[in-house]
Amino acid sequence: MYINRAYLGKKHEDIADLSAPLLVTAVGNFRLLTRPVLRTSRKEGRRDYLLIYVASGRAHFYRDGKETVLSRGNMVLFRPGEPQRYDLFARDRAETYWVHFTGGKTEETLERYSLGRGENVFFTGASPHFPRLFCRMIEELQLRRAGYADMLALTLTEILLLTDRSRREGKLIGSDMVAEVERAAQYFRENYRLPISVGDYARERHMTPCWFIRNFKKITRVTPAQYVLSLRIDSATELLAHSDSSVTEIAASVGYDNPLYFSRLFRRHVGCSPSEYRKRGGQ
């Protein structure tokens, strides 16, 4: 099981602080690799808010005795005092990002971005922006650089804004196209290590490449090629930080036969070479 998380207070501390408008108290990422199941059950809920984003696979949520299975691109919001129960299974290739937050203007902020009471499940699409924003919050809370609390609040607000935007655009584009893009994103996530032709994929799905690319970008805000590139770079950063594989081996494992070309792409998108990234400990 891969875990990356950070806490404002003590581990698992339930913080309800109304002195700040919006305060992030904990944030993290869970990815099940070998552990068969991760279960969370809080019958009385918590005093803070919890937002969970399903980044890949499926997650099982339970409310009022009913199970709901959510795939990638969905978010779940728990308010203070609401029972929380959800399961992640390795067989589902489950990966989630989550953030606990509190504050005196939390409800006002949620209302502003159409996340009012009465609804707690939101489809936002499988955009790579959400994992990146969650990772930014994890880093901010771990390093606690000057102004980190404000940066955390700003990043959480950006997530809420993008959630609202994605939902509005999904309604305008249509649920069928959203489902098609989600299917494509799943295919890309499962096959990004292999040579991928976006045009061939679109034609196999009986779509013209231009139409598919245009609608994919409307929903995810990136082109299919950019989405695949982000998957490859994200996988490479994890391998650089958590494996002893050479740069050449990592390049090949994420879909690049030419390690020099891979290194140029990596530097362009991360800001340093793969070797420098590894020396910095993945920071």
Rounded Cα distance between 134 and 31, Å, is 14
pLDDT per position as a tens digit, 258-280: 999 999 999 998 999 999 998 87
Report the CATH number of the 2-171 domain.
2.60.120.280
pLDDT digits (tens, 9 = 90+) for 36-91: 999 999 999 999 999 999 998 889 999 888 999 998 889 999 999 999 999 999 88
- CATH 2.160.20.10 assigned to 174-279: no
Binned at pLDDT 50, 70 and 90, residue 220 comes out as confident
**If you average pLDDT over every residue of the chain, what do you get?**
90
pTM of the model: 0.65
So what's the pLDDT on residue 173?
A: 55
Q: Are 234 and 192 in contact (CB under 8 A)?
A: no
Q: Please, are residues 155 and 97 in contact by the beta-carbon 8 Å criterion?
A: no
Three-state DSSP class for residue 223: coil
Residues 6 or more apart in contact with residue 16 via CB below 8 angstroms:
47, 48, 80, 102
What span, in angstroms and rounded, lies between the C-alpha atoms of 195 and 187?
A: 12
Classify strands 66-71 and 58-63 as parallel, antiparallel or unpaired: antiparallel
User: What pLDDT shows up at residue 175?
Assistant: 57
Q: Please report the pLDDT score of residue 247 as a whole number.
A: 94
Please report, for the chain, the start and end positions of each structural domain, with discontinuous segments joined by +.
2-171, 174-279
pLDDT digits (tens, 9 = 90+) for 117-155: 877 898 887 777 899 899 999 999 999 999 999 999 999
